Structure 1
Amino acid sequence: MLAADQTGTCSRRNFLLKGSMAALGALAAPKIFAGSYLQKKPDSKFFGVQIGVITYSFRSMPGTLQEVLQHTVNSGISAVELMGDAVEQFAGCPADKSQMAAWRAAVSMDKFSQVKKMFQQAGIKIYAYKPNALGAGNTDAEIEYAMRAAKALGATAVTVELPKDPQQTARLGKLGEKHKIYVGYHAHTQATDTLWDTALEQSPYNSMNLDCGHYIAVAGHSSASLLALMKKRHDRITSIHLKDRQSAAHGGENLPWGEGDTPISEILTLIKDNKYNIPVTIELEYKVPEGSDAVQEVKKCLAFAKKALGA
């Protein structure tokens, strides 16, 4: 047993040592947040419904990976569909785009694992990854890079625009099966109730990234047909994009939430009541009002969703 003065000396030494180590760790840690590192972690999951955001929504704001992370935290969002550019730049991709295929084929996943950790520390789950590496012109090595990166980021899916060529969806589905990563296909106003059928039949890893706003802007579509499609295909939808668009008859414009024809409240209620495991992705498409910014508008969308869910 130590004498009282020895105990005090050891305690002081331990305190100073721990303080020094903490300071060193703070210097070594990546500077993720500017002035808000210790702020409360966001939580945008209500009654089992995960409200997320696609980081494309912050395209009008500074866009390094750290800045995108900060925008997400400031929006109160705890889950994201992460666009590829900022991630690849963080991972050290070449400025010369002609070198991208070779870089993607060889890049270590260490930086992508670091990105996952950065977002996790901020309280944010990455559920989907959308790099520009999944097209018909990309090599198999690039596509497999996208899937390996998605896994390293903690995502369960990559997302891409639905190809017109069924050979490409078969190709992507096969590689998705190999890596156990879903391929979520996104569509614009070419969407029909049967548009995804071929891809879904080709592989259990082909899935839907259903954009409800684009769907509702198609002539002949209605709130009832959208909800019916969701009920029919809920087990093949890995995420949805939510925006408020007018119907084709009303002009098809993107508007602030609550002003268009997308049945936002009904969509969210359907997911909540049926406990569908479908992340809901805010996609900011309407014009940001003067005096506001993308973060403030995403916060408004989140508040609308929260109220619609009764939270």
Structure 2
Amino acid sequence: MKNKEIFTGKLSRRSFLGAAAVVTAASAIPFSASSRNAVALAGGTVIPDSKFGGVQIGAITYSFRDMPGGLETVLKACVDAGLSSVELMGTGVEDYLGAPRQVSDAGKKARDQYNRDLKEWRKVDGTLDKYARLRKKFNDAGVKIHIYKWVAGNSEEELDYSFKVAKALGAIGVSAELNDENARLMGPVAARNGMYAVLHNHYQFGEAGFDVDRLLAYSPANMLNFDIGHYLGSTGLNPADFIRKYHNRIASIHVKDKTSANNAVQKNTNQVFGQGETPIAEVLRLIQKEKWPVYCDIELEYPVAPWSTSVKEVKTCMEYCRQILI
């Protein structure tokens, strides 16, 4: 049964229900060393481990966007979900580290002063050390930050700062939208910092005349954060075929389940893992077989039922991926 499902590129929802039920029940139990994606250290400390069969499964922290409480809540959600690697959204991080805060209804003079204060804060010796300490906080909890989704601005100075921040966090690069401006501006700055500009697609591949080769050609540091769900939903094409061709320019993928652009009933619609048409199993097994160093990040976009939570859903999505890879 398992081999047949791998060849079809899907893990059936029926086959997965048993494992999902176990994970859902386990999510009500405190995180412990008995979890299949956890490692117990001396002294009773437990850290998550979400690398399965050589493939690093993680998540973009956007998946926890419904949870109030800021960065501390995000880190706890990562640990509770069993994630050992994440693409960290930069929203609220500067505030958490003590940057000047802008008053939402401030006038122009106050806004200008805020911008000056923030620019100075970013230049202060020790600001990057705060990011390094944040990295340690995540790492000590067993969570590595492999990509930072945030830019300070689009000037060369602001982009240089953005990559320095990402490096302090332990990331391989900065993520931003896949478009001409970002590819042209970010790539050279990423290269100078020994990092990657990791460019994310939404529906660009479905647009007439879109040329990804041209955008990648701006710099060898330009890489893709390839969203397999958005690709299927916007083109109707198999994302595994794209990955075979461009694997050496893909730093990470976003894993989600969607209906295809060719679906006769409901096109390009988010689905619970296993209920859509995205060939998640084919993609993960391809990366596993070829041993490509591609981070595979869950992006939770389907609606969370009132009786569930985003942490439980991410954990269930991760178990879906684990079942494919073990």
TM-score exceeds 0.5:
yes
- Deviation (angstroms), 1:141: 1.9
1:281 corresponds in structure 2 to: 297
1:159 corresponds in structure 2 to: 175
Stretches of 4+ aligned residues off by more than 4 angstroms: 34-39
The one-letter code of the counterpart of 2:278 is T
* Unaligned ranges ≥5, structure 1: 1-33
- Deviation (angstroms), 1:191: 1.9
The one-letter code of the counterpart of 2:164 is R
Equivalence map 1:1-311=2 (5 Å): 40-96=46-102, 99=115, 100-106=118-124, 108-134=127-153, 138-165=154-181, 168-191=182-205, 195-219=211-235, 221-223=236-238, 226-250=239-263, 251-309=267-325, 311=326
Structure 1 residues 200 and 60: CA distance shift in structure 2, 3 A: same
Secondary structure at the aligned position of 2:262 is classed as helix
CA distance in 2, matches of 1:249, 1:231: 22
CA distance in 2, matches of 1:150, 1:87: 12
Structure 1 residues 199 and 164: CA distance shift in structure 2, 3 A: closer
Q: 2:31, 2:80 within 8 Å by CA — same for their partners in 1?
A: no
CA distance in 2, matches of 1:151, 1:142: 14
2:106 corresponds in structure 1 to: none
Q: 1:90, 1:111 within 8 Å by CA — same for their partners in 2?
A: no
- Deviation (angstroms), 1:249: 2.7
CA distance in 2, matches of 1:212, 1:55: 17
1:14 corresponds in structure 2 to: none
- Deviation (angstroms), 1:164: 3.7
- Deviation (angstroms), 1:38: 5.7
Structure number with greater Rg is: 1
Q: 1:81, 1:126 within 8 Å by CA — same for their partners in 2?
A: yes
CA distance in 2, matches of 1:291, 1:274: 39
The one-letter code of the counterpart of 2:152 is A
Q: 1:105, 1:141 within 8 Å by CA — same for their partners in 2?
A: no
Q: How big is each residue's C-alpha offset from its partner over 1:4-45, in whole Å with a ceiling of 9 and x where there is no partner?
A: xxxxxxxxxxxxxxxxxxxxxxxxxxxxxx999965210000
The one-letter code of the counterpart of 1:241 is H
Deviates more, 1:107-116 or 1:297-306: 107-116
* Unaligned ranges ≥5, structure 2: 1-29, 33-42, 103-110
- Deviation (angstroms), 1:63: 3.8
CA distance in 2, matches of 1:91, 1:259: 40
* Higher normalized contact order (CA 8 Å, seq sep 6+, divided by chain length): 2
The one-letter code of the counterpart of 2:298 is I
User: How many residues are paired up?
Assistant: 269
Deviates more, 1:186-195 or 1:146-155: 186-195
2:16 corresponds in structure 1 to: none
Q: 2:151, 2:158 within 8 Å by CA — same for their partners in 1?
A: no
The one-letter code of the counterpart of 1:104 is R
Q: 1:157, 1:238 within 8 Å by CA — same for their partners in 2?
A: no
CA distance in 2, matches of 1:140, 1:66: 31
Structure 1 residues 306 and 210: CA distance shift in structure 2, 3 A: same
User: Alignment identity in percent?
Assistant: 41
CA distance in 2, matches of 1:176, 1:212: 24
Q: 2:87, 2:146 within 8 Å by CA — same for their partners in 1?
A: yes
- Deviation (angstroms), 1:290: 1.3
Secondary structure at the aligned position of 2:92 is classed as helix
2:7 corresponds in structure 1 to: none
Structure 1 residues 101 and 139: CA distance shift in structure 2, 3 A: farther
The one-letter code of the counterpart of 1:66 is E
CA distance in 1, matches of 2:123, 2:254: 30
Q: 1:104, 1:142 within 8 Å by CA — same for their partners in 2?
A: no
